[in-house]
Amino acid sequence: MLPNRRLQLRFISFFTIFAIFCLFYSDFRKFEFSKISNFTEIIIFSTTKSSTKIPKTPKLYKLLNWEKRESEKRLNKIDDLIRVNLNTAPRYQLSTCVVQKSMSTVMTSMFCYLRDEKKFIGNHRELLKDWKIIRFCMFKNEFRNLGGIQKKFKLPTPNNWTHIMMVRHPFERFVSGFVDKCYRKPVIQKYCNGCARNLTCFMETELARMWGQIERGSFQKTYEDRHFFPQSWRCNLHQYFQNFTFIPYSSSHNFSITSKLFPIFREHSVPESSLTYIQTALSSGRTAHSTVDSKATSFIEKRLRSSPYLMELLVKMFYHDFVLFNFTLPAI
């Protein structure tokens, strides 16, 4: 009887434990289902509630507008705008004044290449794709003014080097800037002085900014200012105008920038192999900022030329560019 008694106790213990386990498991499942239901309700409620909020700016737009955010910084005096970057090629004693919408992307990457051809190519860089936010020579060959170059390389005078500045017809430069920054640039917030694509509004407000900021001597520099303020305001030309070699630039298909630059480069002993690389790279296409063949460019050009009022605003904005760089003033 004893073995049977023990066997019975074992069966009773087993079924008791099994019953407790089943009971616990059933309660646990109910608890989990309740949690899931509550969590689902929270998600639904949260989604419904948040749907009324303004969506956050996508990361892609934040990246594309990096330059805009960097540009909109408080300045103490107008000289800070005049001192725009100069890019150098020290081994050839060359520098270039970089002005937005005057072949700035190409000139920046070209002088980065001339700074060290092997490193530029070795790091798989390309002249037409070395954009500002990813440029290979960032802070390596860049100066605020000719005085900085003179001090860094211990030059007796700035004339020991050749300083190049690409200058563009004010009409062509303005149209290119307006199409690129006010038509094509993907921004969410207000842009182009809050005028968006309104040409008249933008020209009036930008001219007012130019006059107002000169009178005050201090201003809030904006992304638009960098791309539309006169070329003659850049690179301390009020002090170093005589030290620069000015090369007129045009985006027309029959214009050859190499025919203007290469004679200067050869005078400074730039190797023919480097010139061949530059020629090949520039012949492969245009930068992403190019607007020359767009329908918007044609439309804005016609809109400007057909309006004496808008042409008058253009001349007022860029009068000194016309005069200093020998561009013919338009008949109004």
pLDDT of residue 224: 78
Count of Cβ atoms closer than 10 Å to residue 203 Cβ: 25
Say if residues 164 and 263 touch (Cβ distance below 8 Å).
Answer: no
Spatial strand order in the sheet of 244-249: 142-143, 86-89, 94-97, 162-168, 244-249
Q: Which stretches of 69-130 are assigned E, i.e. beta strand? A: 86-89, 94-97
Rounded Cα distance between 93 and 162, Å, is 7
Confidence of residue 291 (pLDDT cuts 50, 70, 90): low
H-helix or E-strand spanning residue 166: strand 162-168
pLDDT of residue 238: 87
Rounded Cα distance between 66 and 87, Å, is 21
Say if residues 103 and 249 touch (Cβ distance below 8 Å).
Answer: yes
Residue 60 pLDDT > 70: no
Segment 24-38, tens digit of pLDDT:
555 444 444 444 444
Q: Which residues contact 253 (CB under 8 A, 6 or more apart)?
A: 292
Segment 72-118, tens digit of pLDDT:
444 344 444 444 479 999 999 999 999 988 888 899 999 999 999 99
Q: In one letter, which amino acid is 271?
A: P
pTM of this structure: 0.72
Segment 299-309, tens digit of pLDDT:
999 999 999 99
